[in-house]
Structure 1
Amino acid sequence: MATVRLNFDPELAQFAASSFPAFDRVQGTNFPVTRLLFDPGATETAYFKFEAVNYGSGNLTCDIIWYAVNATTGVVRWEVALAAITQESDSQDVETKAFATALTVDDTHLGTTSKRLHKATITISNLDSIAAGDECWLRVSRLGGHANDTLVNDVAVTEVRLSYSDT
């Protein structure tokens, strides 16, 4: 039994016509940092397309690697959802495919440093009948307008990681 890991950098994100995070690159002291900037007070969404290579069974784990641009306290509410289509089997129109029911997590800033990396983990149990080789889309949103989201600054996502079992 092995774990399949997929990494999605900000450069791979796709966006709808509105309500999306800004793509940005900061020239750090020693290396550039690419990021998606999710605003406070709004719901903003990024999409990542992938193939379910060697998917076996069970839930998926989604890790959102993020930092606060200029804050040291607060909670960020994240939401993820999955859509999967089996080629030559599903009759679903790819342009109107719906996502499975979304899942959320609240992640608390650990304090002291505003640009400290954090990891929010969401177990994706609403799998949309995913199978090995499926064409899949992952929707990642910050629910900045939600009452639980109390971090009053931009949140920068540096990577989204997806993992699952191949058995």
Structure 2
Amino acid sequence: MFAPVDIIQGTSFPMPRLLFDAGADEARMWKTSAVSYGSGAWTIEVIWYAVNATSGVVRWEIAVAAVTPETDSQDIETKAFATAVTVDDTHLGTTSKRLHKATFTVSGANLDGVAADDDVRIRLRRIGSNVADTLANDAAVTEVRLSYSDS
């Protein structure tokens, strides 16, 4: 299942978001390029908030698939993701709709052999069916940030 796109009109500005349901496994995927990637781990930050909760844990998962154009013979339509990395992020309490940041370090085999300028797919999932995921409400993702070294 895919997390639906939603826009809510805030008091001062609209808030586009992806809504990941409680109790369900939902995903979103993005395509990017590893422009000027050098080496080492990637840092991926997921900026999210609870739609209507002030406690609980969200289990997030990030997976990467990389293909080198003109080099890899992999069929792009059957390419698999590398082993995923999971993070359990705890709501900091007191305020519903408070922004949180789940930080992933993706390295080694989890990067799927990525090289500079590779064609890359990134999958973000909420594993709401996992017993560690206790946030009893939608988790709204507002941004996903990717950073890596160019040397």
For residue 97 of structure 1, what is the amino acid of its counterpart? K
CA RMSD of aligned residues (A): 0.4
**Map of 1:105-120 to 2, 5 A cutoff?**
105-120=87-102
Q: Give per-residue Cα distances to partners, 1:92-139, cap 9 Å, x unaligned.
A: 000000000000000000001110000000111111110111000000
In 1, the alpha carbon distance for the partners of 2:134 and 2:66 equals 32
1:93 to 75, 82, 85: 75
Equivalence for 1:56: 38
**Structure 1 position 165 matched with structure 2 position 146:** no
Q: Give per-residue Cα distances to partners, 1:26-78, cap 9 Å, x unaligned.
A: 11111110000000011000001001000000010110000000000000000
Structure 2's unaligned 5+ residue stretches are none
**Structure 1 position 26 matched with structure 2 position 15:** no
**Map of 1:140-159 to 2, 5 A cutoff?**
140-159=124-143
Equivalence for 2:62: 80
Per the TM alignment, residue 22 of structure 1 is displaced from its structure 2 partner at its CA by 1.1
Equivalence for 2:113: 129
What is the aligned residue count? 149
Q: Which runs of 4+ in 1 moved over 6 A?
A: none
Equivalence for 1:14: none
Partner SS, residue 133 of structure 2 = coil
Q: Percent identity?
A: 66
In 2, the alpha carbon distance for the partners of 1:23 and 1:155 equals 12
1:42 to 8, 15, 24: 24
For residue 68 of structure 1, what is the amino acid of its counterpart? A
Length-normalised TM-score, structure 1: 0.89
